[in-house]
Amino acid sequence: MHQPDPPPAPKPLRADAARNRAKLLAAATELFGERGLDAPLEEIARRAGVSIGTLYNHFPSREAFWEAIFPARLAALEQLTETALAAPDAWDGFVAYLEGLFALQAEDQGLNDAVAQRFRAAGEVEQACNRGFRHAELLIQRARDSGQLRPDFEAADLVTLSWAMSQVIRESMETAPDAWRRCLAFFLDGLRTGAAHPIEVPPLPQGQPGEVTRSR
Amino acid sequence: MHQPDPPPAPKPLRADAARNRAKLLAAATELFGERGLDAPLEEIARRAGVSIGTLYNHFPSREAFWEAIFPARLAALEQLTETALAAPDAWDGFVAYLEGLFALQAEDQGLNDAVAQRFRAAGEVEQACNRGFRHAELLIQRARDSGQLRPDFEAADLVTLSWAMSQVIRESMETAPDAWRRCLAFFLDGLRTGAAHPIEVPPLPQGQPGEVTRSR
DNA sequence: AAGTAAGTTGAGGCATGCCTCAATTTAACG
DNA sequence: CGTTAAATTGAGGCATGCCTCAACTTACTT
């Protein structure tokens, strides 16, 4: 009887390797945050003070970086959802969630790109996305049930909204970093039950449940 | 006394040159429309059945193409504004304008990119943008005065909205080409006077009046 | 039909960015 | 220490896309 090999033994790194890996991760986090998911890998290496070869040694692809970086971000998001779900008022919780989400995007171009569909999630990241999306659905449900969020607002509409805000954030980041808040405020006023007028167009068809991401 | 040299004599082209120019313009319009303002010039040349050298002979820069292409698009927009201003109901006119604008963007990735700030207008194009923007201001004014558009919606907010919609359009174009209409409907419901809640954040600071465009 | 200016061509130089791998350096272990 | 496997290095190959220019072709003039 052999062990059910739990995690397949991530053998220990040599000291220098571990150091370099950490520097690369820091540099990548920083650069993706500043310049988005397309930031050149060569500059990440430069910023980490490491050769391009070493970079590829640790992270064989751009996606490998994402997989190493996003879980932390997504955890912050999950945290945010918890808090929002715990808010005494359903509408307030819903609003707090949106504001928190977009504030995160505004702080991190990489996350903003991710939300704006500029990468294809897989594996661990995909799982986390799905979880996050399902939680957001709860929030929406709750706000709808309380009678404050218009009944025709669906989870899929959250995706569209995120796309929209991502561009506002991207464009205004430097000149007017709070512009997205104003835009969101207008939008939110349209989401209140009292404001609702009938809408003809159906929501986005969602592929898999929680499919927030597709190749660009 | 010398003539006030009206247009500085755009000397006639040789027959083949004129033909090639036309083919290039057609190809560029098509490709920019399909793939956005970053479409490779070499493919434009290929599609026009002309060498890259000839392309540069006629249009020494990417911007030269834009200057040749956009006036026509902007004219369509101007037309749209006329119509909207002539609408019997101010709100309906306002809505028709927005729908028309975004429909144009949805038909043409290049225009969509332009609206989303992905190029720097100059000269003739800039003039046209300014005119267009001033007309849009009239529309907004009119809708506000009629008491249907909330009083705190300003022309600068139109810019933000365009950014927002440009991303929705870009992302949904292939899978759900009408998605932007639904998003816009939500947003519009927030723009009605009745829906308005106070907003803290000020509108975008506009640089020059009508400054819709900045280098990316 | 010949002459010539106008127009066309595409190879090739430049830059950026991805990625590989043979040679070298270095941490870690006995 | 000395050995060796692990890690690092960076030149260089590849691809894309921009742009130029000397050699060639062609439309128009007389």
Dist. CA A85–CA A90, nearest whole Å: 8
Q: Which nucleotide, over all strands, has the C1' atom closest to the CA of A18?
A: D7
> Which one of B109, B160, B215 would you mutate to disrupt binding with A, by most A Cβ within 10 Å of its Cβ?
B160
B41 touches strand D (CB under 7 A): yes
Tell if the CB–CB gap between A166 and B167 is shorter than 8 Å: yes
Cα(A119)–Cα(B42) distance, integer angstroms: 27
Please state, in angstroms and rounded to a whole number, the distance separating the CA atoms of residues A75 and A135. 12
Candidates A157, A166, A181, A182: best to mutate against B (most CBs of B within 10 A) is A182
How far CA B196 is from CA of A164, A185, B121, in Å, comes to 20, 9, 34
CA of B124 to C1' of D28 (A): 33
Residues A160/B179, Cβ–Cβ less than 8 Å: yes
User: pTM to 2 decimals?
Assistant: 0.91
Asked whether the beta carbons of A203 and B178 are under 8 A apart, the reply is: no
Q: How far is A114 from chain B (nearest CA, A)?
A: 12
CA distances from B102 to A47, A81, A99, B43, B178 (A): 41, 33, 26, 27, 11
Alpha helix (H) residue ranges in chain A: 15-35, 41-48, 52-58, 62-86, 90-107, 109-115, 123-145, 155-172, 179-191
Give the C-alpha distances (Å, rounded to integers) separating B27 from A99, B32, B60, B109, B187.
43, 8, 16, 14, 36
Point out the residue among B167, B200, B204 whose CB comes nearest to the CB of A176: B204
Listed as ranges, residues in chain A with pLDDT below 50 are 208-216
| Torsion sign, CA atoms A43, A46, A47, A50 | positive
Q: Which residue of A lies nearest to B213 if distances are taken between CA atoms?
A: A171
Is A167 close to B172, i.e. CB distance below 8 A?
no
Report the alpha-carbon distance of residue B167 to residue B116 in Å, rounded. 8
B214, closest residue in chain A (CA to CA):
A171
d(CA A25, CA A29): 6
Is B106:B173 a contact under the CB 8 Å cutoff?
Answer: yes
CB contact under 8 A, A171 and B165: no
Strand C proximal residues, A:36-65, Cβ < 7 Å: 40-43, 52-53, 56, 60-62
Report the chain A residue with the minimal C-alpha distance to residue B198: A185
Do you know the residue count of chain B? 216
Q: What is the Cα–Cα distance from A209 to B15, expressed in whole angstroms? A: 59
> Which residues of chain B are within 8 Å of residue A194 when distances are taken between CB atoms?
194-195
Closest CA to B166 of B209, B215, B104: B104
List the structure tokens of B115. Answer: 């609206």
User: Which residues of chain B are at the A interface, by a Cβ-Cβ cutoff of 8 Å?
Assistant: 116-117, 153, 157, 160-161, 163-168, 170-172, 175-176, 178-179, 181-183, 185-192, 194-197, 199-205, 214
Chain C nucleotides with an atom closer than 7 Å to a protein C-beta: 6-12, 16-22, 26-28
Q: pLDDT truncated to tens, each residue of chain B (216 aa)?
A: 565 555 566 778 999 999 999 999 999 999 999 999 999 999 999 999 999 999 999 999 999 999 999 998 889 999 999 999 999 999 999 999 999 999 999 999 999 999 887 666 677 777 887 888 889 999 999 999 999 999 999 999 999 999 999 999 999 999 999 999 999 999 999 999 999 999 999 999 875 433 444 433
Q: Is the CB of A57 under 7 A from strand D?
A: yes
Q: How many CB pairs under 8 A join A and B?
A: 125
